[in-house]
């Protein structure tokens, strides 16, 4: 596993070592000891989640705050998504900045998103299965979000707006400026 820091401090890309032969393949998708030694973090994942979505589905930008803030390690099992992390840590030199990367089942690249970030993804392929590990349990009362098209974030989601499919909840999320009073990381 090779770990590469992104433009956002504490946010990492993980490139896995892949072994393939005529039988198929094997790769180690996560090694806590290697990750913690490489990053200096102490991450202990407690919950795994998976979703399946069709082209144009945009999930996000979501976060949990307070004692239920979550770090996530995300990857795509099959298909392709545009994955986006937004730094919401007040006082961070990259507060309000985002990092986006295409993740696919073929690349096996993963993105580690620390606590204090909003996260979302857009499905670019016909279908995609998305998998992520969390270092804290989900708590509905601690969830929050930022609207995907906040002009201050200026995220290029790679698809025309008429192709975007949102949940009712994600359609009414506030812009970052309005959500700032709820941020508690």
Please state, in angstroms and rounded to a whole number, the distance separating the CA atoms of residues 185 and 183.
6
- E strands within the chain? 2-5, 12-15, 18-21, 24-27, 47-54, 58-64, 72-78, 80-87, 98-104, 110-113, 117-123, 127-134, 143-145
Residue 179 backbone class (left: φ over 0; alpha: ψ -120 to 50; beta: rest): alpha
Annotated catalytic residue, options 12, 62, 119, 148: 62
- Is 153 strand, coil or helix? coil
Query: Which residue in the block uniquely carries the two structure tokens 């032969």?
Result: 21
* Beta-carbon count within 10 A of 27 CB: 11
Reading the block at residue 150, the tokens are 């906040």
Reading the block at residue 114, the tokens are 């620390």
Quick check: is 12 catalytic? no
Quick check: is 137 catalytic? no
Annotated catalytic residue, options 65, 98, 119, 132: 132
Residues recognised as catalytic: 62, 132
């Amino acid at each position: 596993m090779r770990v590469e820091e992104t433009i956002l401090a504490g946010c990492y890309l993980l490139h896995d070592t892949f072994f393939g032969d005529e039988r198929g393949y094997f790769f180690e998708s996560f090694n806590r000891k290697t990750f913690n030694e490489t990053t200096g973090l102490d991450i202990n994942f407690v919950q795994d989640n998976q979703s399946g979505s069709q082209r144009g589905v945009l999930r996000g930008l979501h976060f949990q705050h307070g004692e239920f803030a979550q770090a996530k390690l995300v990857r795509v099992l099959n298909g392709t998504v545009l994955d986006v992390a937004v730094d919401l840590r007040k006082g961070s030199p990259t507060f309000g900045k985002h990092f986006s990367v295409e993740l696919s089942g073929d690349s096996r690249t993963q993105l580690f998103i620390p606590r204090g970030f909003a996260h979302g993804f857009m499905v670019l392929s016909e279908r995609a299965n998305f998998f992520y590990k969390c270092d804290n349990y989900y708590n509905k009362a601690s969830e929050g979000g930022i609207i995907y098209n906040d002009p201050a974030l200026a995220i290029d989601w790679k698809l025309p707006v008429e192709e975007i499919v949102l949940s009712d909840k994600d359609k009414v999320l506030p812009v970052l400026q309005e959500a700032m009073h709820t941020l508690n990381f």
